């Protein structure tokens, strides 16, 4: 159904536990141990870091942070996840001060070349949309499985100190079906992925462990991102899983913000700048060697709460409520003990501030509305 936000985004689940903030507009706790992220990232100064998928949403924010830490950065990216103007003008890929290699992570020669002399690698390249992976499992397999295998093999044979593998909370699937309501996802719980995308991410996690656990291999760490949002995120065609971007665009265009079952499903919304900081820290934090850690806030936010934060900014915003499909998962949120203790990271941007930033950015950046979406609205 066009415009519907349902419970089947990147994360799904049921349950009765609450996060540390209760309602989604609660504030995540601030910085850890009094030491700033910037100070801890000084270890990266003059190091050489490769970021696959560096021209994507998360990749480009991460590269910007790594450059601020004075690391030398190379991005390896196919540059085809969005129209060119998104990569260049919205994500600012050309002005990050990093080297861009346009290529495919399946191309072993290119991967070997960019890894030569690298100290650290973040593997973030992926066919990064749940619905698109379901529609095109062949592309998902190429990018997320075959490409990851090439990156892991080449890292294993290199002088790289540590690889950070970007995974997803999608590996938790819908969690425990006996729990009604939103539930918390813990790193050590049983993983029951329910999509092509999630399967590919879980496979990548297992394969990283298999290839990089030897005594002489580079170290690895796995990060399971929850629902990443924040400017300059833009929706992809046929995907409604990025709810802040999706609902904001609907509101701006005067289209209904559709709420299945009144918008009771929850997500753990983590701001892209916080995700970038968590990812950079995972390169240098001692406790992260061999660890798998959630990157989330621990705060569940319902679809309705997000809509209500967005609506006051757009005069034509309105809601339409549709029935909750039977068995639709109610979503979940991150257990945060591991990210606090192993990664020594806490998010700084709560959802109220992050959504506010997003809608202000969207209002100031009207060309961020994708052409296909504006055309749909006009029709
Ligand atoms: N956005 C989220 O909510 C979210 C949640 C969980 C996990 N993740 C993961 O985080 C990572 C970054 O996601 P994002 O939101 O920035 O997505 P994105 O689509 O903005 O970025 C992914 C980048 O990878 C590149 N890419 C894709 N296939 C490639 C290939 N075969 N070779 C080289 N480059 C290729 C794309 O061109 C794109 O620039 C992905 O691994 C994604 O699965 C994202």
Domains of the chain: 24-230+270-298+329-350 (3.40.50.720)
**Weakest-pLDDT range from 31-35, 56-60, 124-128, 180-184:** 31-35
The 10s digit of each residue's pLDDT in 88-102 is 999 999 999 999 999
Which residues have C-beta atoms less than 6 Å from ligand 1? 10, 52-53, 55-59, 76-81, 104-106, 124-128, 143, 147, 166, 168, 225, 227-228
Q: Is the pLDDT of residue 126 over 90?
A: yes
For residue 223, count CB atoms less than 10 angstroms from its CB and return exposed for 0-12, middle for 13-18, buried for 19 or more: buried
Mutate to test the pocket of ligand 1, among 50, 53, 76, 201 (most ligand atoms within 8 A of CB): 53
- Across the chain, mean pLDDT equals 91
Two tokens, residue 156: 């294993």
Taking the C-alpha atoms of residue 98 and residue 102, their distance in angstroms, rounded to an integer, is 12
Cβ–Cβ under 8 Å, residues 230 and 358:
yes
The pTM score is 0.92
Q: Which residue has the higher pLDDT, 288 or 378?
A: 288
The reported pLDDT for the residue numbered 58 is 98
The 10s digit of each residue's pLDDT in 37-73 is 999 999 999 999 999 999 999 999 999 999 999 999 9
- The rounded Å distance from CA 151 to ligand 1 centre is 15
The reported pLDDT for the residue numbered 32 is 61
Two tokens, residue 93: 């890929």
Report the nearest-CA residue for atom 2 of ligand 1: 228
The mean pLDDT value for 213-223 works out to: 96
pLDDT tier for residue 35 given thresholds of 50, 70 and 90 = confident
């Amino acid at each position: 159904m066009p415009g519907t936000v349902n419970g089947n985004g990147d994360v799904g689940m049921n349950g009765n536990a609450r996060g540390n903030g209760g309602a989604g507009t609660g504030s995540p706790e601030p910085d850890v141990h009094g030491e700033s992220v910037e100070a801890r990232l000084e270890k990266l100064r003059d190091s050489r870091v490769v970021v696959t998928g560096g021209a994507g949403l998360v990749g480009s924010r991460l590269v910007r942070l790594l450059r601020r830490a004075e690391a030398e950065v190379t991005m390896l990216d196919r540059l085809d996840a969005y129209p060119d103007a998104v990569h260049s003008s919205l994500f600012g890929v050309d002005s990050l001060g990093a080297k861009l290699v346009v290529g495919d992570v399946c191309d072993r020669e290119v991967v070997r070349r960019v890894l030569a002399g690298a100290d650290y690698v973040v593997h973030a390249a992926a066919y990064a949309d749940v619905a698109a992976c379901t529609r095109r499992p062949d592309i998902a397999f190429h990018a997320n499985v075959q490409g990851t295998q090439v990156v892991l093999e080449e890292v294993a044979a290199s002088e790289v100190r540590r690889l950070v593998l970007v995974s997803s909370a999608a590996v938790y699937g819908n969690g425990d079906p006996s729990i009604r309501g939103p539930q918390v996802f813990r790193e050590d719980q049983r993983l029951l992925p329910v999509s092509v995308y999630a399967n590919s991410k879980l496979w990548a996690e297992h394969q990283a462990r298999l290839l990089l656990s030897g005594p002489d291999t580079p170290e690895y760490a796995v990060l399971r991102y929850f629902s990443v949002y924040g400017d300059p995120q833009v929706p992809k065609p046929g995907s409604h899983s990025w709810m802040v971007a999706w609902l904001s665009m609907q509101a701006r265009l005067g289209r209904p913000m559709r709420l299945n079952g009144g918008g009771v499903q929850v997500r753990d919304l983590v701001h892209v700048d916080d995700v970038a900081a968590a990812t950079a820290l995972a390169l240098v934090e001692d406790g992260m060697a061999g660890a798998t850690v959630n990157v989330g806030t621990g705060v569940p936010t319902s679809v309705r709460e997000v809509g209500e934060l967005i609506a006051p900014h757009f005069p034509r915003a309105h809601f339409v409520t549709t029935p909750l499909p039977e068995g639709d998962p109610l979503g979940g949120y991150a257990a945060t003990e591991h990210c606090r203790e192993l990664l020594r990271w806490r998010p700084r941007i709560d959802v109220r501030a992050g959504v506010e930033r997003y809608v202000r950015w969207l209002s100031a950046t009207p060309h961020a509305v994708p052409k296909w979406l504006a055309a749909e609205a006009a029709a």
